[in-house]
A and B are shown apart, each in its own frame.
Chain A
Amino acid sequence: MPLYETVMQEKPPVVLDIGTAYTKLGFAAEAYPRKIIPSEVILSSDGKTKALLDYDSNTELYDQFVDFLQMIFFKHLLVIPKERKIVIVENVLGQTIIRETLARVLFRHFEVSSIMFVPLHMAALATLAVPTGIVIDMGYTETTVMPVYSRVQILQAFQDQAYGGRAIHAEIKRQLLEAGVNGKHLTESILEDIKVRTCFVTNFERAKAYRKGQPPAAPPDLEYLINGEEIIVIPGTLRETVFEIMFEENNDRDSLPHLVLRAILSCPVDVRRALIESIFVVGGSAIIMGLLSRLRAEMQYLAEKDEEYKQKLCGDIKFKFHKTIGRENFTAWLGGSLCGGTDLIQTHSLTKEAYVKTDRVPDWINLSDKRATA
């Protein structure tokens, strides 16, 4: 591949994974993103900082993308976007307006030569070199579950729930307010810092004790200094229990273990075992101590004790998990980097010429588009 290699060396494609909370950015064929930055824009109109994906009108979203990408290209990656190839890692069932606007900004404003959209769950799985697995992406606004069998996404088994970083932050805030902490200090960034540095997912035994109303001896409380001004006390129970909102038992049976089991059961019978033994948890919210072993214990428990699951998942069930290479928050980006590092970038990208003709982005769901690319 001599010709290809020179192209790569000269102008490696830019790989972007734009999340609700953080954006991972870098170049294809590199082992980690150059930067992980908050998905926020400083508006060129009035200099205020604002969440990238918070918008009222299409034009507003368009302008925010322009400002954001301008910063990525000229402050972080230092490349000329014109005639550059771009890889976008995206949620397959994400909002159409976001991908359409992003494509419009990249083609019209930055004049990039092509965009390759890589489905997030497939990209994450690519980092393992296994063809089958159930990918759980835990982001800021939502957790999504997508089974993949033999490199094909089983779309009808897709599951999502609105718990992720944001819900955890809300829970920390609720518990702190209950403990009498002044709410004015509890900004999103403070809540995030508390989550990241002090909290963990407790084990199944202790969680069961909490549920029964016989809480075990709580972990030590913690003194936490806010902005160098005020000291608040973070109760030990908070540190241990904020993640329980993902595991809470309720009638809807929509906690995280149920979500994964439901996704598995929505798949054909003959692929279920393969999925059970190939579970892969990624996303920023997955970087928390104790999450995997807790999830495994809960699922194992449900598979053995819950009537519904016991019936449907007959036989000896052992849930097996993969470990990520690198941190979980950029696993999907890493998959994008791998895809962008191969010839797929030449064959599977949406080129500017194709975009000019139709003025729209082919959709994953749209069958006519699928036929065209197949």
Chain B
Amino acid sequence: MANFMQNSVVSYACTCGLVNPITKLFFCRHCLKLRCGFCVCHEVDSHFCSNCLENIPSSEAKHKKNCCTNCFNCPCCQHTLSARATMVVVPKKTDDSPKEGEGDGVKAVTKKMYYLSCLGCRWTSRDVGIPDQNVATGAWPENECSYQTRFNALLEYYQAVVLQDKQEKQEYLRRKTPKAHKFPSLTDRTGLTVSMIRRQIGWPDKNTQKAKPVNITPSVATDELEDLPADVFTQPINLRNVSNIQQRHGQPSDQPFTVNKLYPQRRILWIKRSLRCRQCEHNVIKPEYHPTSVKYRIQLFANYHVPDVLLVRSEEVLHAGKSGSIILKLTNPTMHDMSIKIKELPTLSEELEMIEEFKLACKIKENTATSAAAESLKSITSSPSLTSTTLSRQTSLIEDPRIVQQKANVKLNNSELNFVLNQRDDSTEFDEDVQTPREEPEFIIWRKSNKVSIRLPFTTDESLKVGDLVKVGFTMEYTYVNTVTNTPTSHTLSARVFIDAGQILGE
């Protein structure tokens, strides 16, 4: 986590082929695969206002057009507006003033009134002539859409037209296809049609259910167009009064040219997102509901499950075609020992093979995801949320995995490095460093509880030039104990790791 905010020098290739630092990766415990923001399915979990931190149920949010009812943004500078109170003197109401000649006539009362003001640019709601309100969260008038009625008429018209077209087409098809009755019906023999019978009985004609054509007045074109006002050639303009493009777009319905027509903007809500694995439909991230909480209900971040690799330092000065080595520190975040194997990255053909395998696995999964297979799958995964509805999902297209763009430009000196990474044990953090020395391979230079430092020797490519970045890449195989199932099972997983080892130096 040392590299949470900065650019990381160590990155992992996700299953989908994109390269990310471990802090941006997730680990699906059901598929046992790395996932990243690109290859998981994003979902809106809850809506909230980032200013007043109020939680808004999604149905209400939809109704309110995803805006907070209480908070406003400045139409000039998009800063949050604050409600300001002023005391105004208002004459006392007439019905209780004429009471037995006490005092002299009408009394005045002071009353608190509110207006909205921007602390960023000094804009106030009084600038657009919005009257002050007597409650701070008052019913601030909305900027009405001037052509809403016309739009509604158009919409109604087109809905009717489309519906009518559809009915006519159906009618046509119905008439064209001969009736497929097995037995001639009474009406056929007598030559009476259903509608005639209906009319004779006095029932309303069936066809009256047809959509009535809605009339609309079409737009009328004119050749009398507004000419430029004469003063545009003589009068200087004051740029302060002319709105800029951002301000105009902030009020899309009318996009006023002058700033005196800008209205306070309702603040748009924010969302909490949950992330779902596309392959198995399990959540990898699910946040807590409350807006003020920054915790998660489900948090399958990769650095809880995958060994964390850290670059400690580069040992030697790097030259092209020469050997060098880096010191890495690996940490086991899980409660189980891991055996680690570090080896060369897959070749291009191996990588293509992996992608094909992955695609095949997706296809098989899709084909078997029928109701018959649902049972067997359920027993394999034994997870309650894997209901038949998620299994019988419709045709899906899953993003194809890609070839990793990042390429290593070194060769590892050892074909394989094998060692064990001890389990995480928070209590040993406080122990004194009195581990019994054991037979360690020579590349291990330090070990404490769940951490190990190793030296990784390599030879850089001949073709590198002075100033080029040396990329060390390796496949890290690790054993992972899956605790999702009832009986923990051990798996050998692998991750492709890329490390910036520094630049090639001149002689």
Residues of A within 8 A of B (CB): 1, 22, 24, 29, 31-37, 44, 59, 66, 70, 73-74, 76-80, 82, 107-109, 111, 126-130, 133, 192-193, 196-198, 200-203, 206, 216-217, 219-220, 222, 224, 240, 277-280, 287, 289-290, 292-293, 296, 318-323, 325-327, 329-330, 334, 338-339, 341-344, 347, 352-353, 355-356
B51 CB within 8 Å of chain A = no
Q: How far is the CA of A355 from the CA of B147 in the complex (A)?
A: 37
- CB-CB contacts below 8 Å: B338-378 with A: none
Q: How far is the CA of A36 from the CA of B254 in the complex (A)?
A: 12
Do A130 and B218 form a contact, CB below 8 Å, given A219-B233, A321-B223?
Answer: yes
Candidates A70, A79, A111, A220; contact of B234 at CB < 8 Å: A220
B37 CB within 8 Å of chain A = yes
Q: How far is the CA of A36 from the CA of B248 in the complex (A)?
A: 9
Contacts of A35 in B (CB 8 A): 249, 252
Of the stretches B83-91, B200-208, B238-246, the one at the interface is B238-246
Residues of B within 8 A of A (CB): 37-38, 41-44, 47, 61, 65-66, 145, 147-148, 150-152, 154-155, 157-159, 161-163, 166, 216-223, 225-228, 232-237, 239, 242-245, 248-249, 252-255, 268-269, 271, 273, 394-399, 402
CB of A327 within 8 A of CB of B255, answer: yes
Q: How far is the CA of A79 from the CA of B65 in the complex (A)?
A: 11
CB of A222 within 8 A of CB of B239, answer: yes
Candidates B66, B225, B228; contact of A296 at CB < 8 Å: B225
Question: Can you identify 9 A-B contacts, CB atoms within 8 angstroms?
Answer: A29-B155, A74-B271, A77-B66, A80-B42, A129-B157, A130-B218, A133-B221, A338-B154, A342-B162
Q: How far is the CA of A96 from the CA of B411 in the complex (A)?
A: 43
Query: 8 shortest A-B CB distances, which residue pairs?
Result: A320-B221, A128-B219, A31-B151, A32-B253, A220-B236, A36-B249, A293-B225, A342-B162
Q: How far is the CA of A342 from the CA of B239 in the complex (A)?
A: 43
Q: Closest approach, in angstroms, between the C-beta of A29 and any C-beta of chain B?
A: 6
CB of A34 within 8 A of CB of B65, answer: yes
Do A78 and B154 form a contact, CB below 8 Å, given A31-B145, A197-B242, A197-B244?
Answer: no
CB of A111 within 8 A of CB of B41, answer: yes
CB of A197 within 8 A of CB of B239, answer: yes
Q: How far is the CA of A323 from the CA of B41 in the complex (A)?
A: 43
CB of A108 within 8 A of CB of B219, answer: no
Contacts of B249 in A (CB 8 A): 22, 35-37
Do A326 and B396 form a contact, CB below 8 Å, given A1-B159, A220-B235?
Answer: no
Do A296 and B223 form a contact, CB below 8 Å, given A31-B151, A32-B145, A327-B254?
Answer: yes
CB of A200 within 8 A of CB of B232, answer: yes
CB of A343 within 8 A of CB of B222, answer: no
Q: How far is the CA of A216 from the CA of B398 in the complex (A)?
A: 65
Q: How far is the CA of A44 from the CA of B19 in the complex (A)?
A: 11
Q: Closest approach, in angstroms, between the C-beta of B249 and any C-beta of chain A?
A: 4
| B58 closest partner in A (C-beta) | A78
Q: Closest approach, in angstroms, between the C-beta of A176 and any C-beta of chain B?
A: 16
Q: Closest approach, in angstroms, between the C-beta of A4 and any C-beta of chain B?
A: 8
Contacts of A290 in B (CB 8 A): 227-228, 232
Do A222 and B236 form a contact, CB below 8 Å, given A127-B154, A129-B157, A344-B162?
Answer: yes
CB of B41 within 8 A of CB of A82, answer: yes
CB of A323 within 8 A of CB of B219, answer: yes
Q: How far is the CA of A78 from the CA of B43 in the complex (A)?
A: 9
Q: How far is the CA of A196 from the CA of B248 in the complex (A)?
A: 10
CB of B399 within 8 A of CB of A343, answer: no
Residue from B158, B222, B395 whose CB has the most chain A CB atoms within 10 Å: B158
| A109 closest partner in B (C-beta) | B399
CB of A293 within 8 A of CB of B228, answer: yes
CB of B237 within 8 A of CB of A322, answer: no
CB of B227 within 8 A of CB of A203, answer: yes
| A284 closest partner in B (C-beta) | B245
Do A289 and B228 form a contact, CB below 8 Å, given A29-B155, A78-B61?
Answer: yes
CB of A129 within 8 A of CB of B219, answer: yes
Q: How far is the CA of A315 from the CA of B420 in the complex (A)?
A: 94
Contacts of B38 in A (CB 8 A): 44, 66
Contacts of A109 in B (CB 8 A): 399
Do A342 and B159 form a contact, CB below 8 Å, given A31-B253, A200-B232?
Answer: yes
Q: Closest approach, in angstroms, between the C-beta of A348 and any C-beta of chain B?
A: 9
Q: How far is the CA of A198 from the CA of B243 in the complex (A)?
A: 11
| A234 closest partner in B (C-beta) | B239
Contacts of A320 in B (CB 8 A): 221-223
A sample of 7 more A-B contacts (CB under 8 A), given A78-B44, A129-B154, A219-B233, is A108-B397, A111-B396, A133-B221, A196-B245, A202-B228, A217-B233, A222-B237
CB of B234 within 8 A of CB of A219, answer: yes
CB of B225 within 8 A of CB of A292, answer: yes
Q: How far is the CA of A77 from the CA of B62 in the complex (A)?
A: 10
CB of B162 within 8 A of CB of A352, answer: no
Do A356 and B397 form a contact, CB below 8 Å, given A66-B38, A293-B225?
Answer: yes
Q: Closest approach, in angstroms, between the C-beta of B500 and any C-beta of chain A?
A: 15
Do A279 and B163 form a contact, CB below 8 Å, given A31-B253, A289-B228, A326-B253?
Answer: no
CB of B158 within 8 A of CB of A341, answer: yes
Q: How far is the CA of A1 from the CA of B163 in the complex (A)?
A: 9
Q: How far is the CA of A201 from the CA of B269 in the complex (A)?
A: 40
CB of A108 within 8 A of CB of B399, answer: yes
Contacts of B268 in A (CB 8 A): 76
Q: How far is the CA of A22 from the CA of B219 in the complex (A)?
A: 27
Candidates A240, A280, A341, A344; contact of B155 at CB < 8 Å: A341
Contacts of A197 in B (CB 8 A): 239, 242-244
Contacts of B151 in A (CB 8 A): 31, 325, 334
Q: How far is the CA of A129 from the CA of B254 in the complex (A)?
A: 21
| A203 closest partner in B (C-beta) | B228
Contacts of A196 in B (CB 8 A): 244-245, 248
CB of B228 within 8 A of CB of A279, answer: no
Residue from B61, B161, B245 whose CB has the most chain A CB atoms within 10 Å: B245
Contacts of B397 in A (CB 8 A): 107-108, 111, 352, 355-356
Contacts of B252 in A (CB 8 A): 24, 32-36, 327, 330
| A287 closest partner in B (C-beta) | B255
Candidates A129, A193, A292, A342; contact of B245 at CB < 8 Å: A193
Q: How far is the CA of A323 from the CA of B218 in the complex (A)?
A: 12
Q: How far is the CA of A192 from the CA of B248 in the complex (A)?
A: 13
Q: Closest approach, in angstroms, between the C-beta of B186 and any C-beta of chain A?
A: 33
Contacts of B159 in A (CB 8 A): 1, 341-343
Q: How far is the CA of A200 from the CA of B78 in the complex (A)?
A: 27
Q: How far is the CA of A217 from the CA of B459 in the complex (A)?
A: 76
| A224 closest partner in B (C-beta) | B239
CB of A338 within 8 A of CB of B158, answer: yes
CB of B235 within 8 A of CB of A200, answer: no
Q: Closest approach, in angstroms, between the C-beta of A62 and any C-beta of chain B?
A: 10
Do A193 and B221 form a contact, CB below 8 Å, given A66-B38, A217-B233, A293-B227?
Answer: no
